[in-house]
């Protein structure tokens, strides 16, 4: 069994590109090592965005002040916590994720962070300082009419380092990054934190390119069969604007265009498949910059490394 002394403040991170199988692995680890999961996915935080964001099937419960999403008997945090009409950024994520980490550790369980949003994961692992910059609505209005390519170029001139980990097709994030640069120059570097030190094990799920592309295609086909188009339609019907839906990118962007009649269903699938592949490539480029990540795809290997990290002992 796990001994409290040996596992105190240890955190497992399961990361990787879209369709790599992170969620299933995280759930297996949670069952094997008495863990609870914290999602690190920038779209899974939104209620109603289920199929398109790849949420595992589950239901909501309350655990004190925490909204907990239970899937296969395993508690998940940071899933379905806000309306898609509401802005949710890395600063809010970091604050709430650290609260969840503290809560899980207090229950003598193992926190498992799982996701593919690299900057969110890094904000926790490296305890990044997140600047508190108030919205500049005038600047946002001015920038909102520009295409993503132009916004990316503006950001690259102001803060080249930030462009290495940002989704170049996510207009909301690009505008927010430029907004921060306008106010403070650039995102501040890592500083010493007063927070209690945590010990992280980062495991990346990696597949050969051809295998990953096939997994992406199959997952996209499955999502369409499960009702992804209906999900996007219902989100719009509930009051989420087309502009807002498209800002979430990938599935929500292209399905919205299809529903509005701007592209055919065939074009929607092809463009979406291509964009997800490109996004997965950008995710891998970002993650590969961190040499602390151990890359695997065999659950046996992952299990053994986690076991050694946690120093599991029989007693």
Query: Residues marked as binding?
Result: 16-23
* Rounded CA separation 306/86 (Å): 36
What is the maximal distance between C-alpha atoms in the chain?
63
Contact 26, 299 (CB under 8 A): no
Residues making up the binding site for ATP: 16-23
Give the chain's end-to-end CA distance (angstroms, integer): 6
CA 306 to chain centre: 21
Retrieve residue 123's tokens. 């904000």
Q: How far is CA 92 from CA 13, 98, 117, 281, in A?
A: 19, 10, 14, 27
Query: How many Å apart are CA 306 and CA 7, to the nearest integer?
Result: 11
SS3 192: coil
In this structure, the strands spanning 35-40 and 10-15 are unpaired
Question: Across the beta sheet with 110-115, what order do the strands follow?
Answer: 59-63, 66-71, 74-77, 35-40, 110-115, 10-15, 199-205, 294-296
Closest-CA residue to 202 (of 133, 268, 290, 264): 290
């Amino acid at each position: 069994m796990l001994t409290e002394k040996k596992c105190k403040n240890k955190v497992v991170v399961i990361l990787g590109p879209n369709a790599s199988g992170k969620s299933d692995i995280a759930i297996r680890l949670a069952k094997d090592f008495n863990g609870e999961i914290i999602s690190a996915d920038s779209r899974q935080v939104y209620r109603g965005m289920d199929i398109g964001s790849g949420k595992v099937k589950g239901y909501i419960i309350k655990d004190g002040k925490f909204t907990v999403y239970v899937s296969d008997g395993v508690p998940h945090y940071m899933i379905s916590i806000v309306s898609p009409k509401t802005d949710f950024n890395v600063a809010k994520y970091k604050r709430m994720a650290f609260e969840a980490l503290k809560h899980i550790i207090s229950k003598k369980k193992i926190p498992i962070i799982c996701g593919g949003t690299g900057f969110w994961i890094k904000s926790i692992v490296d305890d990044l300082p997140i600047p508190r910059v108030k919205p500049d609505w005038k600047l946002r209005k001015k920038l909102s009419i520009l295409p993503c390519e132009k916004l990316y170029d503006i950001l690259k001139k102001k803060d080249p380092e930030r462009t290495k980990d940002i989704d170049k097709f996510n207009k909301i994030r690009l505008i927010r990054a430029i907004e921060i640069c306008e106010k403070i120059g650039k995102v501040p570097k890592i500083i010493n934190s007063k927070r209690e030190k945590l010990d992280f094990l980062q495991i990346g799920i990696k597949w050969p390119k051809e295998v990953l592309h096939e997994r992406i295609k199959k997952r996209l086909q499955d999502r369409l069969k499960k009702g992804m188009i209906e999900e996007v339609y219902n989100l719009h019907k509930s009051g989420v604007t087309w502009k807002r839906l498209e800002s979430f990118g990938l599935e929500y962007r292209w399905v919205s265009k299809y529903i509005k009649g701007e592209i055919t269903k065939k074009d929607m699938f092809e463009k979406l498949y291509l964009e997800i592949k490109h996004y997965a490539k950008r995710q891998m480029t970002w993650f590969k910059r961190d040499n602390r990540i151990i890359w695997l795809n065999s659950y046996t290997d992952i299990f053994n490394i986690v076991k050694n990290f946690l120093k599991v002992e029989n007693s």
